Amino acid sequence: MKYLIVLVAGILLVAVGCKKNDTIAPPPTQPVNPADTSLQKMLPFKVGAAVNVNLMQNNTRYNNLVKAEFNSITAENAMKFGTLHPGQFTYNWTQADYLVSFAQANNKRVHGHTLIWHQSIPDWVTNFAGDSTAWENLMKTHIQTVVTHYKGKVTSWDVVNEALNDDGTMRNSIWRQKLGDDYIARCFQYAHQADPTALLFYNDYGHEYSATKRTAINNLLVSLKNRNIPIHGTGMQFHTRYNQTDANIAAAINTAAATGLLVHVSELDIAMNPDNVQGLVFTATLAEQQAAKYKFVVRTFKNIPQAQQFGITTWNVTDGDSWIPTQYNRPDWPLPFDRNYARKPAYYGMLEGAK
């Protein structure tokens, strides 16, 4: 009996000890993003992100994630007209130079975004009083100063961004008002003169949701190409949504490839709350739907001719730094990483799409 009591007490002590250990000792630590896998290792084409310079400089986790996952970077805002050229005779290279140095130190491609756009125009341009020759000179000087500054360091440029309306007509931007429809062609010529080795892209949105717009974009680009204007690629922004149809996504990517130009999915994000529902919760079901859509984009892109695969770039890095929640004042989760820098099902969807 005495032995039985000792035995039971012993078993109880061991059991309590185990329980105690289970709760006190942390489980074996798994890194959030294991280092043996990364988008840049697993995807058969360049994969990039639009990056925020402030976060790159002040947030080590963000910086490390960019370093580990991507082999191409685009400046989210640092190379726009308003940032780089705030006064007629003032250029501010600080932020963009930082990104280019980061890319050089870490063996990343830099895609320049963007030389001529109807947004991010500084006041001195909006208020510029000059005749068409003076405007032409303003536009040419901006393009050539920027492209020359980064000659040999920035592989490619979005030379003109968003020059068309959704109905396929020319957007009546300040550039078109002052310089006429053919300003687009001349932007490419000026950029090419400044760096003949840079790859030059026209960048726009809407390819996946509007057949009218994608036809107009593709027609414009083919006509530039046929005139021997130095244009090398088409950038499809792809700010899309989880319920966009696969048929539309495929039509966008495949008709872009049919132009014969390089194809860049240049600003990919997949919104999960396009109807602006304030209390929406990002459920596992939504996460899987998003993963399937990322997978489809990657798989479709991988199936265009390899020589035209310039790459896929996501617009921002994680759900925590996406432009969408701020812009639309709603919760959303558009990217392959969550706000804690962990890989989402969307990330694994991208890997699946590349298989």
Angle at 116 between CA 105 and CA 55, to 5 degrees: 40
Q: How far apart are CA 292 and CA 124, in angstroms?
A: 46
Please report, as ranges, the residues that interact with ligand G3I according to CB under 6 A.
Answer: 76-77, 80, 119-120, 237, 267, 323
Angle at 274 between CA 273 and CA 280, to 5 degrees: 25
69, 76, 162, 208: the active-site residue: 162
Q: Which is nearer to ligand G3I, 155 or 203 (CB)?
A: 203
CB of 80 to ligand G3I, least distance (A): 6
Q: Which is nearer to ligand G3I, 80 or 232 (CB)?
A: 80
Position of minimal CB gap to ligand G3I: 323
| Tokens encoding 150 | 């980064």
Phi, psi of 338 (to 5 degrees): -85, 180
Q: Which is nearer to ligand G3I, 80 or 293 (CB)?
A: 80
- Asked about 162 being catalytic, the answer comes back as yes
Q: Which is nearer to ligand G3I, 38 or 314 (CB)?
A: 314
Phi-psi region of 180 (alpha: psi -120 to 50; beta: other; left: phi over 0): left
Q: How far apart are CA 116 and CA 223, in angstroms?
A: 19
Q: How far apart are CA 321 and CA 66, in angstroms?
A: 13
Sign of CA dihedral 316, 320, 324, 327: negative
Q: Which is nearer to ligand G3I, 38 or 70 (CB)?
A: 70
Q: How many C-alpha atoms does 167 have within 13 Å on its Cβ side?
A: 3
Q: Which is nearer to ligand G3I, 203 or 309 (CB)?
A: 203
| Tokens encoding 107 | 């063996």
CB of 37 to ligand G3I, least distance (A): 27
- Asked about 267 being catalytic, the answer comes back as yes
69, 76, 208, 267: the active-site residue: 267
CB of 285 to ligand G3I, least distance (A): 27
Angle at 169 between CA 164 and CA 174, to 5 degrees: 55
CB of 122 to ligand G3I, least distance (A): 12
Q: Which is nearer to ligand G3I, 77 or 273 (CB)?
A: 77
CB of 224 to ligand G3I, least distance (A): 20
CB of 50 to ligand G3I, least distance (A): 7
End-to-end, the C-alpha distance of the chain in Å comes to 66
CB of 115 to ligand G3I, least distance (A): 12
Cβ proximity of 114 and 203 under 8 Å: yes
DSSP 151-204: TTT--EEEEEE--B-TTSSBP--HHHHHH-TTHHHHHHHHHHHH-TTSEEEEEE
Q: Give me the residues paired with residue 349 across strands.
A: none
Q: Which residues are catalytic?
A: 162, 267
